[in-house]
Amino acid sequence: MASPENCIEESKSSLTRLAPLEAVLFDIDGTLCDSDPLHYLAFRELLQQIGFNGGNPITEEFFIDTVAGKHNNDIAVALFPGELERGLKFLDDKEAMFRRLAAEQLKALNGLDKVRKWIEDRGLKRAAVTNAPRPNAELALSKLGLSDFFQAVIIGDECEHAKPHPEPYLKGLEALKASKDHTFVFEDSVSGIKAGVAAGMPVIGLSTRNPEHLLMGAKPTFLIKDYDDPKLWAALEELDKSGSH
């Protein structure tokens, strides 16, 4: 295992080619807030109610493999093969339950305020890019006090292809009139990291909930625990030195 010091050294120069930085793109669920436990709870409860898996609660492993970061159409197909309509109706109920839980319990990831300030101080453009339905995205941003922070919110459902396809991230760049050569992405899921990488940008992966070895398989530039991670600040400092604003 590389020592923490080596990891910091390795990550330091990883963003410098982006200078001068123009924009930062963020996923929402698991990236701005630790919302996966609330999604897991809603799925577990509602699937149990309909006798899914013989009435046994789904495991966190099942949730990570089948649900985390994926688009609702794909989740519906995985959970209810051959019954897409039923699957989508189930997911509508699940999203409503998630919003009830989120309205009470959603909290920002550690250090998010610090990153927000860093971005605002440099006048960088920013967009949120998510596979979540728009009502979820808007609720989360409002609850986190970020509704005015983002200049664009791109929803996978409103694109021809959701993540892991690069289209949502390319649309984010387009909405901000930013170049992929001067933008990086924060993401926490395999499908999200793949989407950002396919769109030609460095992706900083957050190991909020998903196992690090799975995230690394999607080729992030480096992984951080949260926005207080020294690796992140070493890289941003080096980027600043390389001629960012």
Q: Is 93 a catalytic residue?
A: no
* Distance in angstroms (rounded) separating the CA atoms of residues 211 and 26: 20
Q: Is 36 a catalytic residue?
A: no
Tokens found for residue 104: 């009470």
SS3 content of the chain, % helix, strand, coil (to 5): 55, 10, 35
Phi, psi of 79 (to 5 degrees): -85, -35
Catalytic residue among 27, 34, 188, 229: 27
**C-alpha distances out from residue 19 to 14, 139, 180, Å:** 11, 33, 12
Q: Which residue has the tokens 């021809």?
A: 160
* Distance in angstroms (rounded) separating the CA atoms of residues 76 and 3: 42
Active centre residues (catalytic): 27, 29
